[in-house]
A and B are shown apart, each in its own frame.
Chain A
């Protein structure tokens, strides 16, 4: 669905379209992302061009609308289970934004088998390494996890060590190793995550790229993978139940 919305650029020579209409379309779509994780990434990409929307961007927004129209019978399934362990998935796309080469962080959080929260966000700075991009993404996912843990404790749901899955081994190594490497010198503030690992609040685990559920929030996927991750997130067609 969103293959073409990937690697969108500013399209400076494109035909200008009505900005207020574009903004209101994006506004409505952003509202919808609250209950539709599958469009979060695509809407996020289109939302970056609200400044000077061009025809090519509007075409993409219309594509998302068509997709929603065809999939309006899809909803999120929450099932009862004894397992109430909080886990997070997080991923980053290297140079995901064509205009400024910044990376996209994405992540999702499960309570037991159920998807409870997700995000897709362009990072604020350009990173020099793929691992750095992932590391930044992990940092923001971690803070969300810790917040959710506190929230759950309010409801008397106790959590042990939180698990965060990521598909980059070097990130896991950086988080465990307190030594400053020559190439990780520039990652300073993000070492928040290293403290959490040290204090055994969070543990980082490796997950194969195909099983990385956060992928859907960081990049455009082919139809097969998109549908696969979508069902893993618990998004089903009403009749399928």
Chain B
């Protein structure tokens, strides 16, 4: 499980769904946060996730 935090932009992911859910709930209870869903935009980079590939566009 990996989380990247840059000022107010956070992206996280992991192999275990349980861990991801746990992290999300912990963050939500600690701070006022909402889950935006699958990563599509991060630090000005457009991210497109496909079956086996990830495409990154400025």
For chain A residues 26-74, which have a beta carbon within 8 Å of chain B? 32, 35-36, 72-74
Contacts of A75 in B (CB 8 A): 46, 48, 55-58
In the assembled complex, the CB of A24 is this many whole angstroms from the nearest CB of chain B, namely: 18
**A1 partner residues in chain B, CB cutoff 8 A:** none
B52 within 8 A of A: yes
Instruction: Provide the residues of chain A in CB contact with B3, threshold 8 Å.
Output: none
A117 within 8 A of B: no
Cβ of B53 within 8 Å of any chain A Cβ, yes or no, is yes
Q: Does A77 contact B (CB under 8 A)?
A: yes
Q: How many A-B residue pairs have C-beta atoms within 8 angstroms? Tell me.
A: 38
CB 8 Å contact bits of B23-58 with A (1 = contact, 0 = none): 000000000000000000000011010101111111
* Chain B residues within 8 Å of chain A by Cβ, number: 12
Question: What per-residue 1/0 map shows which CB atoms of A149-179 lie under 8 Å from chain B?
Answer: 0000001000000000000000000000000
Alpha-carbon gap, A77 to B55, bound state (A): 4
User: Considering only CB atoms and an 8 Å cut-off, how many residues of chain A contact the other chain?
Assistant: 16
Roughly how many angstroms separate A241 CA and B53 CA in the complex, as a whole number? 10
Contact between B2 and A35 (Cβ–Cβ < 8 Å)? Answer: no
Question: A35-B58, A36-B58 in contact; A77/B2 too (CB < 8 A)?
Answer: no
- In Å, the complex CA distance between A76 and B57 comes to 6
Task: Given A35-B45, A155-B2, answer yes or no on A76-B53 (Cβ-Cβ < 8 Å).
Answer: no
Query: In terms of DSSP, what is the predominant structure of the interface of chain B?
Result: strand
Q: Write out the residue numbers on chain B whose beta carbons fall within 8 Å of the beta carbon of A36.
A: 58
User: Is the CB–CB distance between A32 and B58 below 8 Å?
Assistant: yes
Rounded to whole Å, the gap between the CB of A81 and the closest CB of chain B is 8
Chain A residues near B58: list those with CB within 8 A: 32, 35-36, 72, 75
A80 and B45 contact, CB distance less than 8 A: no
Query: Distance (Å) between the CB of A40 and the closest chain B CB?
Result: 13
Is A78's beta carbon under 8 Å from chain B? yes
In the bound complex, CA of A77 to CA of B49 (Å): 10
Q: A35-B45, A75-B46 are in contact. Are A80 and B55 (CB under 8 A)?
A: no
Chain B residues near A (Cβ < 8 Å): 2, 45-46, 48, 50, 52-58
Interface residues of A (CB under 8 A from B): 32, 35-36, 72-80, 155, 236, 238, 241
13 contacts between A and B (CB under 8 A): A32-B58, A35-B45, A35-B58, A75-B48, A75-B55, A76-B56, A77-B54, A77-B55, A79-B52, A79-B54, A80-B52, A80-B53, A238-B57
